Chains A and B, each alone.
Chain A
Amino acid sequence: MKGELAAGPPRLEPPDSEVRQRIRQQRLRRFKMNIPLLLMFLPVILFYLIFRYAPIGGLVIAFKDYNFYDGLWNSPWVGFQHFQTLFSDPRTVEIIRNTLFLSLLSIIVGFPIPIILAIMLNEVRNMAFKRTVQTVVYMPHFFSWVIIAMMIMTVFSLENGIVNRWVEAWTGEPYPFMYNKGSWIAVFVGSGIWKDMGFNAIIFLAALTTIDPSQYEAAQMDGASKMRQIWHVTLPGIRSTIILLLILSMGRVMEVGFDQVYMLQNSNVNEVADVISTYIYRTGLQGAQFSLTTAMGLFESLVAFILIYCANYIARRFNEGLW
């Protein structure tokens, strides 16, 4: 290709100095156009430096014994002592395990549900029905966890919750949903899925609209049943969206949303309900153990970073990488 271009008709090259001047003019023009943009961008740079990169720098206190008097710079170094404390204390190991367990369970159980919901909505032919269902299922996403927790505690309440009145009618006595470890985990995972399934389905619904309808017609001609069409046409059609969102959810494996767990937990289920975010809040902020909990935070961030990096690496093998 390049050889062909070079072999084209000879062009009149302007003299060298003229080229240089034009380049200089272009540079000056570009610089002038950049001035308002740079001025506009300055606060953004400040924001990222102060509130995003300074805290990353502040992670050094994980290797120090931070105290108010000495401050960030003068506090003594302690090396990996805080990490040793974290990984040798059965209580913190349990907290890390709880975090992993709850988030992995939420991802494994919760990931397919928005996809299924989107496919179900996509198959609805009655537009009014579809729109009504969409309006209703997107709604919980916009409610704060205070509201959702209040609903859950009301619905599952031991004394007068609706659910326990049904349970009572069936078994004769109410079931303490919020106070048994197993059922608490079920309520926790279920409520997380319930809150966001509709909203998370939107992105899959968008992907579904890009599938060529003729593929369904062809499948129908071949006598494929509805289920087979979904399996062989719909799912492959939204494959890249599924992989992309799976990568993103990998980054959240170390993270159990503070609001949800803080509002749903109670002393009866602490053994399974205490997670990294509530630990950092309680021990770090309320107990003022800044260095120890920063070490925990650093551990959390690092694992999340490695997970999302690896997930992306694998996805790139399938040409679906995020970057």
Chain B
Amino acid sequence: MRKTRGEQVFYMINYVLLTLVAISCILPLLNIVALSLSDARAVVSGKVGLWPVDFTWFSYHSLLTGTPILNAFWNSVEITLIGTGLSMAVTIMAAYPLSRRHFYHRRFFTMAMVFTMIFNGGLIPTYLVVQNLGLVNSYGALWLPGLVSTYNMLIMRSYFENLPGEVDEAARIDGCGELGLLFRIVLPLSKPLLATIALFYGVGYWNSFMSVMIYINDTSKYNMTVLVQNMIMSNLNVQDFTDPTMISNLTPEGIRAAAVIVMVIPILAVYPFLQKYFVKGVMLGSIKG
């Protein structure tokens, strides 16, 4: 079909605007990459744009040898892997019974859970509960209070409900119990959704900041977000390093940039594989359940 003149203008503007939006999302990251790979003097003098100036690995070297970033990295990995596993398990344990039509009081349970989405006790009462359970300064305090996201649970429940019913019947005739049905039929059929929700939980745990600040006192247990935030806040100003030799040897900014890149890389590594899943997952969530 031929396009009218007005449509041509529309498409032109559309492409230009979208390109600008995309660039705005990618440029800051490129800038940080360039800073992390540039020489200290170039960083301080503000010469670095989108390409490294006087390429060097020095920032990464000082980051890895001079800061506890590796320890924090493994803490983040531990928090994320165990947290995601626990959250997934309990979310399935909530969503599956609620998706079964013969489950007792399923409406009541669902309403009671949804209520906590729109009204909650807030930070201080939750903190007191965690404190009374003796979880402060342990990773249990990061995993347990946010174990189940009711929103994710609801998405999962409606997905389970909408699985084809015949499969269910066939399994019943074959003598599958409820657990057999869950593990042999429902979960294998829900892989795309499970991947999406695991991604949401995983990103949440990987980026967790406030809970670590609140509950973890021991600096050796910090995850990367809190460690890097401390690095950013404690030496925000280059002027603090008044000794000129210090500036030439060490740019806090370059090291901070390197730390950010170390934090971003795992997300970027899994992102392309999971993109199709999370798009699907969000769309599933948009179905009113």
Query: Residues on A close to B: CB < 8 A?
Result: 30, 33-34, 36-38, 40-41, 43-45, 47-48, 50-59, 61, 72, 117, 120-121, 123-125, 129, 132-140, 142-147, 149-155, 159-162, 165, 194, 198-199, 202-203, 206-207, 225-227, 241, 244, 251, 258-259, 262-263, 277, 280-281, 284-285, 290, 293-294, 297-298, 300-301, 304-305, 308-309, 322-323
The residue in B28, B206, B253 that gathers the most chain A C-beta atoms within 10 A of its C-beta is B28
> Is B26 interfacial (CB 8 A cutoff)?
yes
> Is B65 interfacial (CB 8 A cutoff)?
no
Query: Residues on B close to A: CB < 8 A?
Result: 6-7, 10-11, 14-15, 17-19, 21-22, 24-29, 31-32, 35, 43-46, 48-49, 90, 93-94, 96-97, 100, 102-104, 109, 112-114, 116, 118-129, 133, 144-145, 147-148, 177-179, 203, 206-207, 209-210, 213-214, 225, 228-229, 232, 236, 238, 253, 256-257, 260, 263-264, 267-268, 271-272, 275, 278-279, 282-283, 285-286, 288
16 contacts across the A-B interface (CB closer than 8 A): A33-B178, A37-B97, A51-B145, A52-B116, A129-B15, A136-B26, A138-B278, A139-B268, A144-B206, A150-B232, A154-B253, A154-B257, A159-B238, A281-B210, A285-B124, A297-B123
Which residues on the A side are within 8 Å of B28 (C-beta)? 151-152, 154-155
- Beyond A36-B178, A143-B267, A225-B6, is A136–B102 a contact (Cβ under 8 Å)? no
B25 contacts which of A194, A207, A263, A294 (Cβ < 8 Å)? A194
- Beyond A162-B31, A258-B210, is A294–B22 a contact (Cβ under 8 Å)? no
Question: What is the chain A residue whose CB lies nearest that of B287?
Answer: A206
Q: Is the CB of B118 within 8 A of A37?
A: no
A294–B207 alpha-carbon span in the complex (Å): 26
Which residues on the B side are within 8 Å of A52 (C-beta)? 113, 116, 120-121
Which residues on the B side are within 8 Å of A144 (C-beta)? 206-207, 209, 225, 263
| B274 CB, nearest partner CB in chain A, Å | 9
- Beyond A55-B122, A150-B256, A202-B283, is A50–B238 a contact (Cβ under 8 Å)? no
- Beyond A160-B43, A206-B286, is A284–B123 a contact (Cβ under 8 Å)? yes
Question: What is the chain B residue whose CB lies nearest that of A197?
Answer: B21
Q: Is the CB of A120 within 8 A of B17?
A: yes
Which residues on the B side are within 8 Å of A33 (C-beta)? 100, 102, 178
What 5 A-B pairs have minimum CB-CB distances, sorted nearest first? A55-B121, A160-B46, A58-B125, A297-B122, A144-B207
The residue in A37, A40, A138, A280 that gathers the most chain B C-beta atoms within 10 A of its C-beta is A37
Question: What is the chain B residue whose CB lies nearest that of A202?
Answer: B282
Which residues on the A side are within 8 Å of B119 (C-beta)? 56, 301, 304-305
Which residues on the A side are within 8 Å of B22 (C-beta)? 132-133, 136-137
| B179 CB, nearest partner CB in chain A, Å | 5
A80–B200 alpha-carbon span in the complex (Å): 40
Q: Is the CB of B271 within 8 A of A139?
A: yes
| 13 further interface pairs, Cβ-Cβ under 8 Å (given A37-B97, A139-B271, A244-B288) | A34-B102, A50-B129, A55-B121, A55-B122, A139-B25, A142-B207, A149-B229, A159-B238, A161-B46, A162-B31, A203-B282, A305-B118, A308-B118
Which residues on the B side are within 8 Å of A263 (C-beta)? 229
Which residues on the A side are within 8 Å of B148 (C-beta)? 44, 47-48
By secondary structure, the A interface counts as: helix
B271 contacts which of A133, A142, A149, A159 (Cβ < 8 Å)? A142
Q: Is the CB of B209 within 8 A of A146?
A: yes
B10 contacts which of A38, A55, A58, A226 (Cβ < 8 Å)? A226
- Beyond A37-B97, A154-B28, is A30–B286 a contact (Cβ under 8 Å)? no
